[in-house]
Chains A and B, each alone.
Chain A
Amino acid sequence: MDQLLQQIINGISLGSIYALIALGYTMVYGIIKLINFAHCDVYMIGAYIGFVCITSLKLGLIPALLIAMAICTILGVLIERIAYRPLRNATRIAVLITAIGVSLLLENGMILIASPQVRVYPQIDGLLAKSFDIGRITINMKQVLILATTIILMILLQFIVKRTRIGKAMRAVSLDTEAAQLMGINVDTTISFTFAIGSALAGAAGVLVGVYYNSINPLMGLLPGLKAFVAAVFGGIGIIPGAMLGGYFIGMVETMVAGYGGSMFRDAVVFAILIFILIVKPTGLLGKNVREKV
């Protein structure tokens, strides 16, 4: 029983990371129907920016987190402006291929700049190095940090989407781009803003992963990116609460599979879920069947 509870805590920490990345996928998909494969590399770049802030600039964790989020925001907007906006009226497959191209560019660019070797986040002392016990369960402060950051960012996101003008615009564009444009909504700005938020969340996830696991490398985004994508599909791609739910679900499944004897199958199980969902309920757990406009 203790062990199960401990595994649940492990699963929640891992799930938080997936949820943060999955939100970026799902928001972008919701608004321009594009699976932004470059998203997982924005996450990787976030981790590297955090690394530079902490090691070279000797900043604390919170400033590093904020700087990484800020730079990733700019990067996300730039990617959208340079790579995707010129293709706004192109076929979906063209944009998708562009997304894969951007992803490869970012990965190999980072290999060129930072070399393919693994970098190590410095140990963080003080409060974060501590852990505490509840009964026979150990929770360390980094797990608390990950969960707390994720929850704060999600509440913030929920607030932006539901309660602000720009959030309203996002929802409108997502529902019907042309109608929104006719109502006087600036579609380009709204899309840029969506990329900005998604990328900021990915940047935050990158720094959190760096602090939690210590090791980062230019290809670190590949597998978590794919899993976050599975999480987004699982929850229903385009639906924000679905991405959170999916992220935690995938994190939990992976932990349970690894923890109860299947450490060699944990990646396989996650992708088996993707296939299963696509066969049984392609719209995802929270998805509704909407008829495609013709």
Chain B
Amino acid sequence: MKKLSIGLVLIMIFALFAGCNNSKTDDVIKVGINYELTGEVATYGQSSVEGIELAIEEINKAGGVNGKKIEAVKYDNKSEESTAMTLTTRLINQDKVVAIMGPATSGSFNSTIPVAIDNKIPVASGSATADNVTIDESGNLKEYAFRICYTDSYQGTAMANFALDNLKKEKAIIIKDNSSDYGKGLAENFNRTFTAGGGTVVSELAYVKGDTDFNAILTSVTGQDFDVIFIPGYYNEAGLIIKQARAMGIDVPILGVDGFDSPELVNLAGEDALTNVYFSNHYSSLDESKVVKDFITNFKAKYNKEPDAFNALGYDLAKFIADGLSRAEEINGESLKEALASTKDFEGVTGSFSIDENHNTVKAVIIIELENGKQVSSIRAGN
């Protein structure tokens, strides 16, 4: 028994050195992918990774970054925050990556950041929108954390301004997902901007994840005077709210957020109900710019389907990292961080953006209008 355990220890030590040797010899740059490939929010992770892989393929085909090919090491964090954190350690210590992409959700992404800061390796997410991702509660910057999407407060503000300025509505009802920080944060920011801009929030209603019956709360507002509804939440419940509201004869415009972006929304709400519905998103397939058109063509060629916002964000994320690598003085975490932080006017599928002093992006919110369940128009707002 003793011999066996000594043997095992020797093998482990050997494996450790073997790991080191492998990673230093090649002419490749290793980056990590740490996404939700299974579990609760699997579609977000899977879509992001599709975009990332397409981007890396294109970069390598075009000669890589300064002559070096990018090699991605991909792990599944099972939509669990603790797994996301362990994988970050593994990617940094064992796989020796210079940067990590993912996870997709704010909670999981947040759990990886302390490890990244300790090891001085940048982590970047395509879709972590919570306000506390790049700066902590006391306002200090988390140096090695980046994101390429806008924040929830920015999104809530943009929708409030859209209601006031574009739709000319002044009396809003908010129906928020009270079981997520996402829903609560958005509701708060919408409320603040809408009120400051001269509007009134007639009433604010709440539901929790998994609710299916909204008839009671919708009936309770029918007697009130309002001209727009804002629903900060995910598509599962939002689809049902829209359906039940329209069935009740509530036909005012309904505003939503990027959580609406799913093919399931139209199945849940029904095509007829999805008219006069507007939601903010990161990307629109209706965009006429060349970057977007090329992306859609290439994406369809590889995956044989229409890209969604997470595909686009993943694609931009990988290109953003590659752009940073091409400008970094050396290929290590510290200089890559400097390069990423100084990104200016990056031309992405999800709009052109720069990284600000809080490691957030300054970019336009795209507001998509739905008519009979189809995307009919998109406008850029808030920038």
CA distance A266 to B205 in the complex (A): 13
Q: Say how far B251's CB is from chain A's closest CB, in angstroms.
A: 13
**Which residues of chain B are within 8 angstroms of A256 by Cβ–Cβ distance?**
216
Q: Does A214 contact B (CB under 8 A)?
A: yes
**Which residues of chain B are within 8 angstroms of A117 by Cβ–Cβ distance?**
43
Would B208 and A3 count as touching, CB distance under 8 A? Answer: no
Contact with A along B40-53 (1 / 0, CB 8 A): 10010000000000
Q: Say how far A153's CB is from chain B's closest CB, in angstroms.
A: 21
CA distance A73 to B268 in the complex (A): 29
Would B220 and A260 count as touching, CB distance under 8 A? Answer: yes
Would B268 and A255 count as touching, CB distance under 8 A? Answer: no
Q: Does A138 contact B (CB under 8 A)?
A: yes
Q: Given A3-B220, A255-B215, A259-B220, A140–B240 Cβ distance below 8 Å?
A: no
The size of the chain B interface, using a CB distance under 8 A, is: 29
CA distance A209 to B240 in the complex (A): 13
Would A3 and B222 count as touching, CB distance under 8 A? Answer: yes
Would A138 and B249 count as touching, CB distance under 8 A? Answer: yes
Q: Does B27 contact A (CB under 8 A)?
A: no
Task: Write the chain A residue with the least CB distance to B215.
Answer: A10
Would A254 and B264 count as touching, CB distance under 8 A? Answer: no
Q: Say how far A119's CB is from chain B's closest CB, in angstroms.
A: 9
The one of A116, A120, A131, A266 that contacts B247, using a Cβ cutoff of 8 Å = A131
Would B217 and A258 count as touching, CB distance under 8 A? Answer: yes
Q: Does B206 contact A (CB under 8 A)?
A: yes
Interface residues of B in 206-254 (CB under 8 A from A): 206-208, 210, 212-213, 215-217, 219-220, 222-223, 236, 239-240, 243, 247-249
The one of A209, A214, A266 that contacts B268, using a Cβ cutoff of 8 Å = A214
Interface residues of B in 21-47 (CB under 8 A from A): 40, 43
Q: Does A199 contact B (CB under 8 A)?
A: no
**Which residues of chain A are within 8 angstroms of B215 by Cβ–Cβ distance?**
10, 13-14, 255
Q: Does B276 contact A (CB under 8 A)?
A: no
Would A263 and B216 count as touching, CB distance under 8 A? Answer: yes
Task: Write the chain B residue with the least CB distance to A216.
Answer: B212
Q: Does A105 contact B (CB under 8 A)?
A: no
CA distance A209 to B212 in the complex (A): 10
Interface residues of A in 113-128 (CB under 8 A from B): 116-118, 120, 122-123
CA distance A107 to B90 in the complex (A): 34
Interface residues of A in 194-230 (CB under 8 A from B): 209, 213-215, 220, 223
Would B219 and A214 count as touching, CB distance under 8 A? Answer: no
**Which residues of chain A are within 8 angstroms of B358 by Cβ–Cβ distance?**
none
Would A118 and B216 count as touching, CB distance under 8 A? Answer: no
Q: Does A158 contact B (CB under 8 A)?
A: no
Q: Say how far B9's CB is from chain A's closest CB, in angstroms.
A: 39
**Which residues of chain B are within 8 angstroms of A123 by Cβ–Cβ distance?**
270-271
Task: Write the chain A residue with the least CB distance to B205.
Answer: A263
The one of B207, B208, B248 that contacts A138, using a Cβ cutoff of 8 Å = B248
Would A258 and B247 count as touching, CB distance under 8 A? Answer: no
Q: Given A116-B40, A123-B270, A264–B206 Cβ distance below 8 Å?
A: yes
Q: Does A108 contact B (CB under 8 A)?
A: no
Q: Given A118-B264, A140-B247, A214-B240, A10–B219 Cβ distance below 8 Å?
A: yes
Interface residues of A in 215-266 (CB under 8 A from B): 215, 220, 223, 254-256, 258-261, 263-264, 266
Task: Write the chain A residue with the least CB distance to B207.
Answer: A263
Q: Does B342 contact A (CB under 8 A)?
A: no
The one of B40, B213, B270 that contacts A213, using a Cβ cutoff of 8 Å = B213
Q: Does B267 contact A (CB under 8 A)?
A: yes
Q: Does B178 contact A (CB under 8 A)?
A: yes
CA distance A264 to B176 in the complex (A): 11
Q: Does A6 contact B (CB under 8 A)?
A: yes
CA distance A7 to B213 in the complex (A): 12
Q: Given A120-B264, A138-B249, A214-B240, A7–B210 Cβ distance below 8 Å?
A: no
Would A259 and B217 count as touching, CB distance under 8 A? Answer: yes
Q: Say how far B202's CB is from chain A's closest CB, in angstroms.
A: 14
Contact with A along B265-309 (1 / 0, CB 8 A): 001101100000000000000000000000000000000000000
Q: Say how far B236's CB is from chain A's closest CB, in angstroms.
A: 5
Q: Given A120-B267, A138-B249, A254–B178 Cβ distance below 8 Å?
A: no
**Which residues of chain B are within 8 angstroms of A120 by Cβ–Cβ distance?**
239, 264, 267-268
In addition to A3-B223, A264-B206, A264-B208, 20 A-B residue pairs with Cβ atoms within 8 Å of each other are: A3-B219, A3-B220, A3-B222, A6-B222, A14-B215, A118-B236, A120-B264, A122-B267, A138-B247, A138-B249, A140-B247, A215-B212, A220-B212, A256-B216, A259-B217, A260-B220, A261-B220, A263-B205, A263-B216, A263-B217
Can you sample 16 A-B contacts with CB below 8 Å?
A3-B222, A6-B219, A7-B219, A13-B215, A131-B247, A138-B249, A213-B213, A214-B268, A215-B236, A215-B239, A220-B212, A223-B210, A255-B213, A258-B220, A264-B206, A264-B208
Q: Please list the 8 inter-chain residue pairs (A to B) with the smallest Cβ-Cβ separation, ordered nearest first.
A: A258-B216, A259-B216, A120-B267, A10-B215, A213-B212, A255-B216, A259-B220, A123-B270
